[in-house]
Amino acid sequence: MLTSASRQQSDAFSSVGAGIGVRHPLSKEWAFIAGLNGNKRMNNKHEDTFDAGQVDGHAGFVRTYGKDDFSAVLQYNQMWVDNDRYREAAGFTTQWQHNYDARNQSSFYVQYANLRYPSDDLRNADRIVFGANFAHARPGLKTVYYGGVYLGEEVVKDDTVPHLGHVLSGIRLGAQHELHRVVKAFVNLGYEHRRYSGEHPLLLRVREDDQWNLIVGMVWNPAKHWVVTPQFQYADNRSNLEINRFRRELVSVTVRREF
């Protein structure tokens, strides 16, 4: 029998977050960067067992050499669900960004993370992703197009559960347009394919997912240092295993104060 947590339902939620970022020049070419942020999301009506929070931290260096920026950053993430530690991720990102001119840039990156699940050691894994991004601004810089492709793998550390690991590939496309001096509209579309590394022990099939994500919203600066972002998010995960299919719609308004 399916529990209420496994059935489609709706709820309202509230969230709060804060963060800080630092960039300190060390020389004409080198700079130290670091940041720390956290957030907490709380459901209003029911299913408070899905209340979630996380803390992210990073520190590293950036080197600017002509039209090229090279960066190497250590990263750490801790996520909680229902006030219990759910997942810990520690790793790094290295990136090369090339600025062709004021309106065009591209970048290539490598990300690695060691994933640890304190309450479910079988899911512990190593994740690595290779990707490339691009951005193009039209004359006047009011409209920007951007996108990227990536390929990676998540390998579980316990050989007895290969079906928990997977190979992934995806593409992201987006655009942002300045409607007014203080209002910008944006749209992001993403697709990711995941093929898992072994048969599900009960369903006896190899899982494959095709997930689509759409985000549409606006960025409004009503006053100096204030940013308001209303947005709609849609996710559709199409899986060959019925239990892994889902659709999610999310409408939110984020208010941020920058210092």
Tell me the residue range of the domain where 240 lies: 120-257
What integer pLDDT is reported at residue 51 of this predicted model? Answer: 86
What integer pLDDT is reported at residue 4 of this predicted model? Answer: 53
What integer pLDDT is reported at residue 1 of this predicted model? Answer: 45
Position 137 in a domain: yes
- The number of folded domains in the chain is 1
Dist. CA 253–CA 259, nearest whole Å? 20
What integer pLDDT is reported at residue 235 of this predicted model? Answer: 98
What integer pLDDT is reported at residue 6 of this predicted model? Answer: 53
Q: In angstroms, what CA-CA distances link 251 with 14, 86, 118, 181, 214?
A: 12, 25, 31, 25, 12
pLDDT digits (tens, 9 = 90+) for 38-89: 999 988 865 567 789 999 999 999 999 999 999 999 999 999 998 889 999 9
Percent of residues, the chain, with pLDDT higher than 90: 89
pLDDT digits (tens, 9 = 90+) for 81-116: 988 899 999 999 999 999 999 999 999 999 999 999
What integer pLDDT is reported at residue 44 of this predicted model? Answer: 80
Pick 239 or 7 by higher pLDDT.
239
Position 184 in a domain: yes
Look at the chain and count its residues. 259
